[in-house]
Amino acid sequence: MPANTSFVSSRIGSNVLFGFIAGFLATLTFHQFGVAVLHAEHLTPFAPYAMNPVPPFGVPEVISLAFWGGVWGIALASVAPPAWRHGGGYWLGAIVFGAILPTAVAWFVVMPLKGLPAAGGFHYPGLLVGPIVNALWGFGTALFLRFMPRAAVPAS
């Protein structure tokens, strides 16, 4: 087995583990904070920390959201390796990643699969909710990732 194979697998494992943890935590904090603010401003009917059971397992909605936030966190950690986790580009990239990718998937894949119109029918102010809360999620995930341990770097 080549010497750098364990480094690659440990880096991938770190991206998966720490990306999931960061995305999960960012959903419970930053994303839900955004939902709370937008709900208080009457821009969304959805309240934060919804406990409605979600099929097929009946877990609370906020836990289901946090799970998917963790999955998206793996994706973000994979495109932003530890060496890049500094500077303005990192933060802007994480915010843009969050605002665009999870929002687009929710609008154009998840909503139609649930029998809802794409992007909620493109109605204002609903069009603002996804990009805002997911941009906050992206920032929060980047912040949590910034403080996660790095994968071990092999000796030359």
Q: What is the pLDDT of residues 8-65, one digit of tens each?
A: 456 677 788 999 999 999 999 999 999 999 999 999 999 999 999 998 899 999 999 9
- The conformational region for residue 121 under phi > 0 = left, psi -120 to 50 = alpha, else beta, is left
Per-residue pLDDT tens over the stretch 103-155: 999 999 999 998 999 988 888 888 899 999 999 999 999 999 988 876 433 33
Q: How many Å from the N-terminal Cα to the C-terminal Cα in the chain?
A: 16
pTM, rounded to two decimals: 0.85
DSSP assignment string, 54-92: ETTTTEEHHHHHHHHHHHHHHHHHHHS-GGG-SSHHHHH
Please say whether the dihedral angle defined by the alpha carbons of residues 25, 28, 31 and 33, taken in this order, is positive or negative.
negative
Instruction: Spell out the domain ranges in the chain.
Output: 5-146
